[in-house]
Structure 1
Amino acid sequence: MRLKAGERLKGLRELAGFTRQEFSNITNIELTRLTNLEKLKARVAEDEYEKLGLLFPDIIQWLAFEGDISLEALRVSENKLCRLLAARFEAGQIPEGYYFEEVIKQ
């Protein structure tokens, strides 16, 4: 694995186009905690993975263990946040440094 969980969390937030404050509000992860996770000063806890999995069900495999991301699954997801991610992928709004291009599967 190239990225630690906190780095993938930051990549997910940046891909979605949210500020830390916005992402904190959406995920119900306290802002200070989110900052510490992203800066690798803390580890993502099981309950946080659960929250994130409920909010981003079609990308949790990547977030949890750098698994592949199915662009088609994101496109057709019932989850609006996953459809947002698909739209950002398709628009080329992909943050650099997170190896998304290697894990996105059509």
Structure 2
Amino acid sequence: MSFWRKLESLLLGMRCLYGHRADGLLIVFVVDDIDREYMRIQSEGVPITTAIKTEPWGERFFQVTDPNGVVIQLVQWVTENTEELVVCQPKNALVRAGKRSSC
């Protein structure tokens, strides 16, 4: 089952949303490879609400919106380095050339 179908199933199970729009509701998922998820979601034909972008504070994200108005944001935390792009891993660990340090 695709990510979008699983999420749709979850949201359909939330009976409190029936007949109401969820404008203003934002659900955020942290992912390990935002670019791969962006390509996968696009390939499944899901309309992209906010195209992938990276904010100056290190948040790389994109957004989709479900039929009830719920905005789903996928995010990966990154920091730019002049020599390399460093990806912040879960649990605030930073992997750089095989070494871990805090993000």
TM-score by length of 2: 0.24
Q: Choose between structure 1 and 2: higher helix proportion.
A: 1
Q: Choose between structure 1 and 2: higher strand proportion.
A: 2
Who wins on radius of gyration, i.e. which is larger? 2
